[in-house]
Structure 1
């Protein structure tokens, strides 16, 4: 998934059926194959494979699966669970059923009755056996490497932008006729990074068990793929903290590959300079391993906003603080 907040209302890619009657049989066939593939991918969750002894679960957004990857071992088995925004009513029933025999739960903070389902962190805790620990961990967003980027949930406009589900403040400004800088000076890049870390620290202060806000220094390229997709440099030390919080029954596992790397935003030269990174600038997106030119994204997003003036106005309103910073730098 491209969004990362637990409150995002993403469409379930596995379960989506195209609207309309054209090619309906083909769509239904594709739907059936997708359901089978989904059940196979989450085999233990759906009862297609036996649950391991002493198993636990990691529940949350797309970051949750990445955390599971780095903590799961023979000593600390953790089964795959669909991202919380993908869970159906039947999935929620199954989740609570599994929790009654789980040995532990790692969860991001989720509000009660999320999307009308009993998926709140407190609601999940109630299904755990007595003595099974719940460890809460934050959903992370870090803007230091992508200070031009915003990921938004706009309930009135559920459709994501084309190609990549992110808004670039410069493209939004161009569409809205607002003059902004093409890049930011070092001080502003650092200020935007500090603000995102401060917000993370505020959320941690609401009672979470594990902190991540201190893991963004020093800033390195591998900290984040996008504003809401952290990289290995964040997940591995955060995994160590989770393993320790669960009583250190295992060890952190390096998967030997980039985590949560299906979408990589550009790493622009002025950002590299702002952090003195030991990394080559990358002007374009990488999606599913393929280069996606930034100009292609720009053109698609400008057309998207031009066709949706009400959405553009909503986006402009939501990113006003970021727009002010970029306008002031112009």
Structure 2
């Protein structure tokens, strides 16, 4: 999760409170804890608030990380035996249906425009196609807006009752990306693909509505928060996962880094292991303007995780 810094941090999940004025408007558009309990994730009070970053997925320990890799390998082997596999050197190309849930309050706050939503889909397509840098990898995935749903609910707007509202509003299957636009102390929060089978109703990403293209959050209003959170949804860790270790984020071509990046500090090198910190990678915590790439090995991992958990 990416988190913000101009307002105090609040817990973003399972907050009590009754729903106010639930009224879904137009439906279809016309154009981080044990596995499975991501809903209970409560970031530490010391994490940064609006304007910066903070933990945006449930914490995965080194032991669990190892178990997830073993489970993924087993699933890929079983699917390959059934003829569901990606040829070596190829990508698991797919078009992902995207359902956008605009969580407004009773006064209409948080009501992003259709153009902002369309622009966000454009950003996703550009970033996952490697379109922001010659060093970026093509992932094989594209996105299409499958539906926009607008709600008037003061509690949901503030991401309260998040487990409940997601289960009530989520659309599609494991292959569908649901994006809930809310007003909270974070930039975004995501679920991992390996948690889908235990909690399919909460699968997806929550994004601050003002992080969309044209939003008002300085340095984080180009739509790259959704790219970062979608990266987690596809199965990528932060580039600083595990710190200065060889295993770190399970991706060989992202140099290890000891801690998240803030801003765009060119030349930052926080580990003695080879390589500068991957500050331009979408899975770091850099400014939106600093981001420009997924790597080739991240692209391969996305394909593997998609095949194992979402295909």
Does TM-score exceed 0.5, indicating one fold?
A: no
Q: Which has the larger radius of gyration?
A: 1
Higher helix content, 1 or 2: 1
* TM-score normalized with structure 1 length: 0.26
Higher relative contact order (CA 8 A, sep 6+): 2
* TM-score normalized with structure 2 length: 0.27
